[in-house]
């Protein structure tokens, strides 16, 4: 027994016939394909941005300090008082902070919460530290003159920062 099948042109080319109930083999529309590709690109871009921002935050860590207050006052008895307040305005902890007033041989030790600044008690970002120095008469400072103050900072990663400020001696 021999069976002969006749196929229409649509069946031979692989296109479905709606009347036969077979599944369609057509591709998705170009509009939907474009939307899917754009969504994949946006997700990929957000992933790259997230990775970049997380690594660049650690690379852009910077150490910086600013002088919030500085004063040098000489009284009638010839004694002088020097005070300075320094704030860590960077984003790295400070483990060493030395302040030297022109005319003084040794640097001042600044303190945070009553303790000297060191690796066990660092000056954290946003924190301030204050130092006070009483200089007995005859103090070598002249009212109206400016004197240099050298600030040397060492950060937790080992980097150093040096800044020079001027303070004018005033009468008080």
Q: What is the pLDDT of residues 86-144, one digit of tens each?
A: 999 988 999 999 999 998 888 887 777 778 888 899 999 999 999 888 988 888 899 99
Look up the pTM and report it.
Answer: 0.64
Percent of the chain, pLDDT > 90?
48
Total length of the chain: 172
Instruction: Spell out the domain ranges in the chain.
Output: 28-60, 65-171
For residue 103, what pLDDT is reported? 87
Q: Which fold has domain 65-171?
A: Immunoglobulin-like (2.60.40)
For residue 4, what pLDDT is reported? 60
Give every strand in the sheet of 128-135, ordered side by side: 108-109, 94-101, 146-155, 160-171, 65-74, 80-88, 128-135, 111-112, 115-116
The phi-psi region of residue 21 (left if phi > 0; otherwise alpha if psi is between -120 and 50; otherwise beta) is left
Instruction: Please count the helices (runs of H) and the strands (runs of E) in the chain.
Output: 2, 9
For 62-96, write each residue's pLDDT tens digit.
788 999 999 999 998 999 999 999 999 988 999 99
């Amino acid at each position: 027994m021999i069976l002969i099948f006749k196929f229409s042109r649509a069946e031979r080319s692989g296109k479905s016939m709606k009347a036969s109930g077979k599944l369609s083999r057509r591709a998705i529309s170009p509009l939907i394909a474009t939307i899917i590709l754009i969504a994949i690109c946006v997700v990929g871009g957000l992933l790259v941005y997230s990775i970049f921002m997380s690594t660049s935050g650690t690379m852009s860590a910077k150490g910086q300090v600013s002088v919030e207050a500085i004063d040098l006052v000489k009284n009638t008895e010839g004694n002088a008082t020097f005070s300075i307040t320094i704030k860590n305005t960077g984003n790295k902890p400070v483990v060493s902070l030395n302040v030297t007033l022109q005319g003084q041989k040794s640097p001042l030790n600044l303190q945070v919460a009553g303790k000297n600044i060191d690796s066990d008690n660092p000056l954290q970002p946003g924190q301030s530290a204050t130092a006070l120095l009483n200089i007995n008469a005859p103090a070598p400072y002249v009212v109206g003159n400016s004197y240099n103050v050298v600030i040397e900072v060492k950060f937790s990663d080992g980097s150093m920062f040096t800044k020079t400020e001027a303070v004018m001696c005033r009468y008080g």
